[in-house]
Chains A and B, each alone.
Chain A
Amino acid sequence: MTTLLKLNGLTKAYPGVIANDDVSFEIAPGEVHALLGENGAGKSTLVKMIYGLVKPDSGTMALHGDAFAPSEPRAARAAGVAMVFQHFSLFEALSVAENIALGMENPPKPRELSHQIREVSHTYGLPLDPDRRVGELSAGERQRVEIIRCLLQDPKLLIMDEPTSVLTPQEVEILFTTLRKLSAEGTAILYISHKLEEIRALCDAATILRGGKVVGTCVPKETTAREMAELMVGKVLHQTKSGEHDAGDVVLKMESLSLPSSTPFGTSLQNVSLELRRGEILGIGGVAGNGQDELLAALSGETKVSSDVIKFENREIGQLGPNERREMGLLSAPEERLGHAAAPDMSLTENALLTGVVRQELAAHRFINWAKTKTFAETVIETFDVRTPGPTNAARSLSGGNLQKFVIGREVLQSPEVLVVNQPTWGVDASAAASIRQALMDLASTGAGVIIISQDLDELMEVADRFCALNAGRLSASRPTKDLTVDEVGLMLGGAHDMEVAHVG
């Protein structure tokens, strides 16, 4: 077997952290190679070096046996390396064709480009309309735009950074069919993910990174997911246990909420009804951008609705603001950690005050009780194992996982009657995610109602008692998670989002 890309001793250090330490491996033409690792293991830095966005401190790369040291993405693309980004590198206000033209060195005339887009997208079973605005597309379709952009340049190596994190199971199937076809045609694929079952289904070889170092390689088809996970985390994993609890009285009720979107690419909620009982966890699944943020805003009180639409213990609360709802015991933690759940440049103490002020009585007589606030912040830090030098540090200085533990912990410790969380473990490493889930389950077992909005279906199946799907602003009826299969969940999520199914010839 020949070698397409060979990495030899790649090292990259940032102040205070070695992102990659002596990383070496090889990829053959047509091979689907997985790069596995937790957040912060150095996967992103490594592929940025291959794509020319970051220069290695030391080490060499060779492509087709020749030295390969791209100084910028343009050089990497010219050499046949293409990349599909984790956070889409797309421009929402521009059309599909414009977006694709931006990623090409010498794009053809607009009309011809549109023709090529239609042609290539049909060949690979990823139909796309070149004239549509990207802001109007679903996550799966957006990813198609990126993939087509890469394919039009006839790449030898396609790098995919967490491509399935925003896709429904059916969309994942379509993607895999395309990738297998590409691989059969001789295109090598470097596939980054931490979803082990997907890697087992798709990849020929895997390199596992931990703390910037290669800690192992394996053939995924012959390795169990558990073995790979333990290589990845470096310790034996404890599985979270679903606490047994009986559902109590209805504590929160939403009746036919319709809410037009306030932003151009937002989603309008249509006729959303839900019911939450004490002691249960309601999981709301769905790909981000289908109304999750709008639903959370309506529940938290950021968006006011007519007062009889939302009832909390039979009181009409639709017109109440966030602090009034907090006082009653309805708390929430939004998805965006920096800037929504926490003020980035304020200290953890100040951030603790911002939502804790009402229930923890941190400002009796309208003066802030700093001593009490600091104690509260310290309690959150201690209870939830937030890694930070202390509560005087700015929220911005915490890593994503640690800040997430802090903002969830801050709400849980206020002993809410109802807690609504949006994407509680997004971008959080496995062990932190496990502890957050455990905290939410413990909270439910004390008799509180919990709503988890998440796009991680495995997570919802694991912790939620009932599951419902949010798709294009509509909420499905809920079903107990015990007897749901992955396929049924996928269909509840709108299948492949009305996308044409792949016809790969």
Chain B
Amino acid sequence: MMDLSSINPVVLVASLMVAATPILLAAIGELIVEKSGVLNLGVEGMMITGAICGFIIAVESGSPVIGFFAAALGAALLSSIFGFLTLVLLSNQVATGLALTLFGLGLSALMGQGYIGIKAPTTSPLNFGVLGDIPLIGRILFSHDWMVYLSLALIAGTWAFLKFTRAGLVLRAVGESHDAAHALGYKVIRIRLLAIMFGGACAGLGGAYLSLVRVPQWTEGMTAGAGWIALAIVVFASWKPWRVLLGAYLFGGITVLQLNLQAAGATIPVELLSMSPYIITILVLVIISADRRRAALSAPADLGKPFHATS
């Protein structure tokens, strides 16, 4: 018999934020990449590379903070390979992105061979003093580690960057029409490369959040498709930062809820529960972006097109 009373809504909300953070980080990075007109399908590979880089350095140094930095750096380096191949050598973005995922999975498995079964140093929640003792809100808002707040700050920062700053305008312009941006004298390739590396760093942080906080240990292939769901969220969120947040938290929420339901002994088959986060997230975001004409407006017009400066 199912016992729903065992599910505490406050704990549920607090834990969905933790569950969603890896995807949120990866998705906001990919949003910037796609806004610059590049489609990088290697998110999964960059995440897992970040996961192992962060894990190794955190274990060796004993500091999760240094681990997160290493994760961002490692994944950004990996993404710069993608940047070089697609922007300079003009290789196909889709194929190169897929190859990056496969490469990242293999590379991380190789690097992580001596680290299986080790526990990562703990990342403890920030202490907000009295704020943490407020009923409901305290548990939901003030009980997390610093990465959760960083991910939320990144969403707000990305939104403000795209909406209010000149650099954000230039980035959108490059994704909208690289030929026009080039004609006006903007450095299309440089801007895109920076965007790709930012996306890599974010994906790396997301991966490291899995291996250092969420799990927290190293297993091969531990991202288990999180990179792909991040990619899907960006598209169905119509490239809007706040909708990415919505999509990621929805996904995290249903993931946590279905785990709770499984634990509570729900009569629904486990397979259906496991697939529910993917189906429901995509379904909701598809409905939000159902108006095709408006969705097409926010899509970067030159997404995935190779840029070659004639002359």
Contact = CB atoms under 8 A, between A and B. Distances in A.
Interface of A: 45, 48, 52-54, 72-74, 77, 85, 87-94, 98, 101-103, 107, 135, 263-264
Given A52-B185, A102-B169, A264 B180 contact: no
Interface of B: 166, 169-170, 172-173, 176-177, 179-181, 183-186, 293-294, 296-298, 301, 311
A48 B173 CA distance: 21
B185 to A, nearest CB: 3
Contact of A54 (B170, B179, B296, B311): B311
20 contacts: A54-B311, A73-B184, A73-B185, A89-B177, A89-B183, A90-B177, A91-B173, A92-B177, A93-B172, A93-B176, A94-B173, A98-B169, A98-B173, A101-B166, A102-B170, A102-B173, A102-B184, A102-B186, A264-B296, A264-B297
Nearest to A85: B183
Contacts of B172: 91, 93-94
B35 to A, nearest CB: 11
Q: Is the interface of B mostly helix, strand, loop or mixed?
A: helix
A268 to B, nearest CB: 11
Contacts of B179: 87, 89
A52 B185 CA distance: 9
Given A93-B176, A101-B169, A74 B185 contact: yes
Contacts of B166: 101, 107
Contact of B180 (A77, A89, A101): A89
B176 A263 contact: no
B153 to A, nearest CB: 24
B212 to A, nearest CB: 39
B183 A263 contact: no
A92 B311 contact: no
Contact of A263 (B169, B186, B296, B311): B296
B185 A91 contact: no
Nearest to B185: A73
Contacts of A90: 177, 180
Contacts of B297: 93, 135, 264
A54 B309 CA distance: 11
B6 to A, nearest CB: 49
Contact of B311 (A48, A88, A264): A48
A77 B185 CA distance: 10
Residue among B176, B179, B298 with most chain A CB within 10 A: B176
Contact of A93 (B183, B186, B301): B301
Contacts of B169: 94, 98, 101-102
B161 to A, nearest CB: 15
Residue among B166, B172, B184 with most chain A CB within 10 A: B184
Given A89-B177, A93-B298, 15 more contacts: A53-B311, A54-B311, A73-B183, A77-B185, A91-B181, A92-B176, A92-B177, A92-B301, A93-B297, A94-B176, A102-B169, A102-B170, A102-B181, A107-B166, A264-B297
Nearest to A74: B185
A94 B166 CA distance: 13
